Chains A and B, each alone.
Chain A
Amino acid sequence: MIPGLGRALVLLALLVATGGALVGVAAALRPSGAGREWTRRLAYAFSALMVLANLLMVYALLARDFSVSYVAQVGSRQVPDWVAVVSLWSSLEGSILFWGAILGVFVATATWSLGERHPEYAPWATAVWLTCGAFFAFLLAGPAHPFATVAIPPPDGPGPNPLLQNHLLMIVHPPFLYLGFVGMTIPFGLASAALLAGRLGADFLRPLRTWLLVPWVFLTVAIVLGGWWAYEVLGWGGYWAWDPVENASFLPWLTATAALHSALLVERKGVLKGWTITLVQASFLLTILGTFMTRSGVFNSVHSFTQSAIGPTLLAFLATSLVFSVALLATRVDRLAGEATLLGARSRDGMFLLNNLLLALFTFTVLLGTVFPLVVEAVRGVQMSVGRPYFDRMAAPLGVALLLLMGVGPALPWGTATAGQLRKALLPPLAGALAFTALGLALGVRNGWTLVTLAFGGYTAQVTLRELWLPLRQRMSRRGEGLARAIVETQRQSRRRTGAYVVHAGVVLIVIAIAVSSTMGYDTEVRLRAGESADIGPYRLTFLGADQVREPHRTSLVARVEVARDGRPVAVLGPRMNHYDTQREPIGTPAVRTGFGHDLYLSILNLDPATQTLGLHALVNPMVGWIWIATFVMALGGVLALLPSRRRPAATVPAGAPAAVQPEKP
């Protein structure tokens, strides 16, 4: 019964999305209130159907209904219920279904937030969203097909990929990534709507930027959560490997970041409209490219799903979207053009331009490194891979240049600055640069890139903190407000500005943490018998013995390693090897002791319970914990920028809801 009901929901969603897209186009071409109303209704109906289809699948997974093909594929009676729910996105077909639900939620929320406003853009945007929705519904009805009926249901299933069962972070990383990826559909629809309508007015810039910022926040968190998961689960001691699929998530982040900045120039100077629209479109197209990479079997990665018919379908969608975007840009971009203002090089405007240039270069570099093996194999038939050294060598200079720009840009005034202004703006933050560098040298930093990162980070940190502090000080001295009240009021009145600088502070922190952790760590590989010890840094590690732990779905060998610091035992860590009943290779889970300054990271190389010998890889990773903290700061900044402010109504607030919202011009 469930397979049939699921198929009906998916087919209905396909029908509704297609109809909604057509009605949207009609309502845009021949404006009518009824047409717009129906577009919205169909958008809500699509969302509801997608969410229902997902709830049905979750029910089937929990009920272990193996007559549903997807449940037969990833379900298992052995796994706990949380794993059963998480299985929704653990494999190809389910992940597409989950995509549909997220898209539904986004489309419904965006439709609701636009409401009756922006009538010249809204039906176009909804039509684009629903076209994407129709495509994913089509994938679910045809190539992916999670609701196929299994004629003779098996008594039990294999359960999801054990790597996904290995850590709780796996519950949060994929949903965040989907929220980031799928969410890019909304700004794409809005940008396409601006092109289709032939104008990008200041009033429409606001929803565009808000809806770009929402997936940006999710994507930021998702990228780092993915790194965190790799760090806690994969056991090689790092968090980022420039794996094709990691790159796939990083690419749209880069273009979206660039777009968030260029949108400010559009707002302030009326320039770069076409460029900003291009960046928004690119962000969406790169998410589809990323989805293709993981689901086509073209790239080998820890993330890849198996090969399937979905690959060609996704490629067709990607190609169509690319052609659509290029054609739309080529035919319509001239209508958007604002007045050409020459931007001064020695100004904040110029720094924004440079920031966009560097981010575009960064995107291109990563994209090139990611697809280069494919190019080489296509042209010369030789297999190769582009490894970390390429990416690290390219990312380090681009990263530190961007870090410096984050300090120089906000320090400079808008418009052209005089020499005196330049000196006054740019010289004081050198104190911060000196302080950070001196601190690094005192703590033993000798790597050139890391010292440069510290210097630029110190410079930018000082500028950022000054920009955050100045309005507070003004309020406190002019209005006699207390600090807490000044913070609240400043945030309320300039949410975007405050949010942006909080994000910048997070970026300074994360770049420094990445530089330090990737250049200052050390490791050792030791072979220990029970009772033997080895030293690494300030720690003495003693192998106490190995235990076997039996759980319903796996058997684990746990090595008990006592960690002593300065002669005092501080912890017993338990790195483990997990043997899943359904898999041939054991999967290690490292044990991490996270500290303020550094992490102690233990990973099993091999463990022989019979002879009680342990091959152990021990690493000391400085500042890794700060990466997670910095991400929280960045996400906080993004959320602050999204909160409704008093002066300007946020685009996410529906017309006529709170009293503080001013009605917008139609």
Chain B
Amino acid sequence: MNRKVLIAGLVLVAPLVAVLLIGLGRDPRVVRSPLVGREAPPFALRPVGGGAPVSLASLRGKPVVVNFWATWCVPCIEEHGVLGSGARSWEGRAHFLGVVYQDEEKSIADFLRRQGSAYPTLVDEGGKTAIAFGVYGVPETFFISPDGVVVEKSMGPLDDAALSANLQKALGRAP
């Protein structure tokens, strides 16, 4: 038995396996947003199809769900129904906003006409708001507390449970 080899081997091998084991549970695709815990970037955008601009500041007092989406994104379309029914069940207690991400206003309007919508979808000219929010890919949803602070960012399509848990969190309650 060569003790030196044994010790050297274990010193190299044990931490590596330990680190890999800890890493096993994590999802590298989850990117924490630096915005979480900070005030949401302000915006005032006009809704699809025209109308008065909606500003984030005017929605203070209730939690806000800001969903970045596009019609070319299949998961966004699947998510649309979840957000629609969420907006209806949270009516009067939370605001829902969709923001168009790199899409034609016309295809968004067509889609909304066909599918209906329970909340306004806003046009983000030049993608400035998406850039301010650090949108990485769609769908991405930001949960903003009644006093305007980003509480959670969710990547990928939401389901009912995640939507309501994150809204509870935005209200300052434990999910």
Interface of A toward B, CB cutoff 8 Å: 274, 289, 292, 296-300, 304, 307, 311-312, 315, 318-319, 322-323, 325-327, 329-331, 333-334, 371, 374-375, 377-378, 383, 584-585
**Given A330-B5, A331-B1, A334-B2, A311:B13 Cβ within 8 A:** no
| Shortest beta-carbon contacts, A-B, top 8 | A326-B9, A300-B28, A330-B6, A378-B22, A374-B23, A298-B23, A584-B73, A330-B5
Please tell me if the beta carbons of B23 and A377 are within 8 angstroms of each other in the complex: yes
Count chain A CB atoms within 10 A of each CB in B1, B19, B73 and give the residue with the most.
B19
- The smallest beta-carbon distance between A222 and chain B, in angstroms, is 23
Tell whether B132 is near chain A: CB-to-CB under 8 Å. Answer: no
- The smallest beta-carbon distance between B129 and chain A, in angstroms, is 18
Tell whether B31 is near chain A: CB-to-CB under 8 Å. Answer: yes
Count chain B CB atoms within 10 A of each CB in A298, A307, A325 and give the residue with the most.
A298
Chain A positions within 8 Å of B19 at CB level: 371, 374-375, 378
Task: Digitize B24-40: 1 where CB-to-A-CB distance is under 8 Å, 0 elsewhere.
Answer: 10111101100000000
Instruction: List 19 extra interface pairs beyond A296-B24, A298-B26, A311-B24, CB under 8 A.
Output: A289-B16, A296-B20, A298-B24, A300-B28, A319-B17, A322-B13, A322-B16, A326-B9, A329-B5, A329-B9, A330-B3, A330-B5, A330-B9, A331-B1, A334-B2, A371-B19, A374-B23, A378-B22, A584-B75
- The smallest beta-carbon distance between A272 and chain B, in angstroms, is 14
Interface of B toward A, CB cutoff 8 Å: 1-3, 5-6, 9-10, 13, 16-24, 26-29, 31-32, 72-76, 137-138
Chain B positions within 8 Å of A297 at CB level: 27-28
CA distance A66 to B76 in the complex (A): 27
**Given A300-B28, A584-B74, A585-B137, A330:B22 Cβ within 8 A:** no
Chain B positions within 8 Å of A323 at CB level: 13
Pick from B6, B13, B17, B32: contact of A315, CB below 8 A.
B17
Please tell me if the beta carbons of A298 and B20 are within 8 angstroms of each other in the complex: yes
Chain B positions within 8 Å of A311 at CB level: 24
Residue of A nearest to B11 (CB): A326
Pick from A300, A318, A327, A334: contact of B17, CB below 8 A.
A318
Chain B positions within 8 Å of A331 at CB level: 1-2
Chain A positions within 8 Å of B27 at CB level: 297, 307
Please tell me if the beta carbons of B28 and A298 are within 8 angstroms of each other in the complex: yes
Please tell me if the beta carbons of B24 and A315 are within 8 angstroms of each other in the complex: yes
Show 11 residue pairs from A and B whose CB-CB distance is below 8 angstroms, ordered by the A residue.
A274-B5, A289-B16, A297-B28, A298-B24, A322-B17, A374-B20, A377-B23, A378-B19, A383-B32, A584-B75, A584-B138
Chain B positions within 8 Å of A289 at CB level: 16
- The smallest beta-carbon distance between A300 and chain B, in angstroms, is 3
**Given A300-B29, A584-B73, A371:B5 Cβ within 8 A:** no
